[in-house]
Structure 1
Amino acid sequence: MMAGNEQHAQLMTLLRVGGIFSPERLEATDILMAGGKIIALGQDLDVPTGWPIGVVEARHLIAVPAFIDQHVHVTGGGGEGGCGTRCPEISAQEIASMGIATVVGVLGTDGISRSPAELLAKVRGLIAEGISAYMYTGAYRVPPPTLTGDLQRDLAWIPEVIGLGEIAISDHRSSQPRQDEIERIVSDTRVGAMLAGKRGICHFHLGDGKRGLEPLRRLLSETEIPADQVIPTHVNRHPALLEEAADYALTFTASVDVTAFEDAGDGLSSFDAVSRLLERGVPPERITMSSDCNGSLPEFDAEGAYIGMKVARNTALIADWQRLVREGVLPLETALGLISGNVARVLGLQAHKGRLAAGLDADITLLDDDFQPRQTYVAGVCRYSAQ
């Protein structure tokens, strides 16, 4: 259920939990929230009598930074098989129920019936429902569709726009952009973001084409663009691409994003992909996970003809992340970075999100002993509570 209306009459909320991971384990067990921020963490915090405060007793749960999903088709993706194959929108309930407080909306193949304006409207609708939401301007194709007619203006003047994406490369559905076109849009995104005080990520969709990551390798080798400007996603689409992604991350000290496919097919699950990247020596702080939620999972034959489609969900993201912790691939403190702290840094949101500390956004997920989300707080208000 969506909760929190009763909290609007309260100016402060005190969470009493069984433990806090910030992501490192803290001695504190209490979190005091007000005005959408964490204002104090401590042990048995004493609040003066008469203060407008609600106390939530959750001693059986642990508090962690709420999850961040940087790749969500909030308006629905799809369309590769015609208008009858458009995927549905995602709801605030579906987001919060997975412990996710922040999403970044993205357009994909369909930048015709779906538009940046529609995406912005949906992002603002999610914000109105209590979800922290942002968006990438653009879509698969180059030149990318924008809100203002200019990439730099989108970034400079629209607060919700934090980058460009998802630009498709090495995919038969891409617009087959030339290297100079890729360099131009990344450069424009960088300058527009600088003017707005944003990171300005360029989020690149990787298909299963033979060129793989070569366009991004050339971008980083032949220009002055820093590696943290560019995030390739779907790098676990097939084993050879994942191997290339490991080399890319190590060569350029770059970050790569693994997609939590429900049915990996010829690719790898996000659990297997993260495990292999770690085995190859990629530092965990250079790995992120995302869901591709409500995007399409189309199937094509050897000639590229459409033969069927499934709709991605965000359940695999949490399930694969839980498995990484349960099977000891990573300790909880480190694994949290894959869907929280690392993502906040990649997006340039680390001053507000990705950690539990005084002054940061009160985005908090409460987990049970099996690492299942039981409550999700966004800006200090409970937006999901399991029954």
Structure 2
Amino acid sequence: MNRIDKELQKLASFSATPNPSVTRIVYSEEDMEARAYFITLCENIGLKVRVDVIGNTFARWEGSQPDLAPVGTGSHIDAIPESGQYDGTVGVFGGLEAIRVLKESGYSPKRSIEILLFTSEEPTRFGIGCLGSRMLSGQLTPENAEKLIDTENNSLKQNLERVNFNTDLSSVKLPKNYYNAFVELHIEQGPILEAENLDIGIVTMIAAPSSLGVQIVGQGGHAGCVLMPKRKDAGCAAAEIALAVESIAQNSASDNTVATTGIFNIKPGAVNSIPKEAYLEIDLRDTFIETRDKALNDVQDKIKEISNRRGVTSNVKLLNCDPPAICAENLVNTVENVTKNLGYSYKKMISHAYHDSLFMAQICPTTMIFIPCRDGLSHHPDEYSSPEQIHKGVQTLALSLKALSE
């Protein structure tokens, strides 16, 4: 597997931060260079490449019956600041390697097999994850996409113009059942497969994600001159909210409820000044929508209670609230049979992280293949899956695509 290993290392060089970290924000210079590299590799083996108006990239190996709905695979190559080189990328370049493996074996597919490089799975530029797959599935309409503003106060359309993409967003959505099946290869981003010494995880469900943005306004003042009974400290209110978020998740009826206050900013940010404003972003997810929604409502009720008691005002915005994805039983069975035939150890499992497949599952049968990553580490420069682990993932993917394309 030296080929894919070298390509992943080359891909990692398209980064705004030095090795071993990878920073590749969507529509950045590094992102555009990485896209061009992937397209070149696809065209080198005769795949037909098309790019939609937001950059979702489709590379098709045409089958003997091209009118049939194709089998899809793929993932993303954008990366959060100072992350690693395997998240998403193994699914994109692993899809390419799977096609090369099948081609080199002399196989000719009946259904076309298509690699899909999704635009902006990470929420770095626009504050929303899975931009490309949300639009492909219709979960994000062109009208709402046009309202997206990036971290530099530029609109989505302004970003598209900057990188010379078309700005007519009406053509992004895929028709229902555009794909006959979609299988995403991905590192686990968790410790289970490594801890249990397993080769492959077969995903049966993807957890339901949600997130809140919370703006808190209190009253600033001199840290030495405003006595404690008179304070309306936005920072302390925010801290209490963050602890309440943790407590609500810990006391949920579901063991799979997780909640994180991942963004916590206060103003003015001086040691001798009482915080007058705070901004939080809260990630809350569960495998079951009922317990997720209860926890989400409990968090919002607690924000109101804390704000009223502390004399601050709060404005809560629901950034996203998505359903879980139930993976297609026939695809899970196909991957399981392939894994057994290859002699690889495996388990069926839930994906607690969400992926583009969460949204693809709304328009076509979908599942995912996980491979182990060292110490379960992801979104970190030390993220790592070995060449052997990637090889087993690619072999599993290749033979699953072969079975589904027949």
The TM-score with structure 1 as length reference comes to 0.23
Q: Which has the larger radius of gyration?
A: 2
Structure whose residues are more often helix by fraction: 2
